Amino acid sequence: MRRLRRAWSWYNRAHSGYGWLGWLLGGKTGAVVGITALAGLAGVTGIAVTQPDLLPSLFNRSVPVAVVTQQWDDSIVFPIEGHDKAGRKAAFDVVVKTRNITWVHGSADQLAKSGQPISDTDIATQLFGPEVRQGLARSADVIAVGAASEEGTESEETTRAERRGRTAGVWLAQALSPQTHIWVLNLGQFRPSCAVGQGTDTSWERPFMIIGVRQQEPGVDLGEALRSAMAGKTNLPSTQCYSRYELAKLN
Q: In the predicted model, what is the mean pLDDT of residues 26-35?
A: 44
Domains belonging to the chain, first-starting first, are 2-59 (no CATH), 70-249 (3.30.1330)
Contacts of 13 (CB under 8 A, 6+ apart): none
**In the predicted model, is pLDDT for residue 15 greater than 50?**
no
Give the pLDDT of residue 41: 40
Looking at residue 102, its pLDDT comes to 93
Q: List, for residues 80-92, the tens digit of each pLDDT value.
A: 999 999 999 999 9
Mean pLDDT of 7-18: 47
Is pLDDT at 135 greater than 60 in this prediction?
A: yes
Please choose, from the candidates 76, 18, 84, 102, the residue with its C-alpha nearest in 3D space to the C-alpha of residue 221.
Answer: 84
- In sequence order, what are the residues at sequence separation of 6 or more whose Cβ sits closer than 8 angstroms to the Cβ of residue 14? none
Instruction: Give the angle 121-125-129 at the CA atoms, nearest 5°.
Output: 165
User: What is the reported pLDDT for 152?
Assistant: 85
pTM: 0.75
Using 50, 70 and 90 to split pLDDT, how confident is the model at 50?
low
Among 74, 103, 100, which Cα is nearest to 166's?
A: 103
Averaged pLDDT for residues 46-63: 53
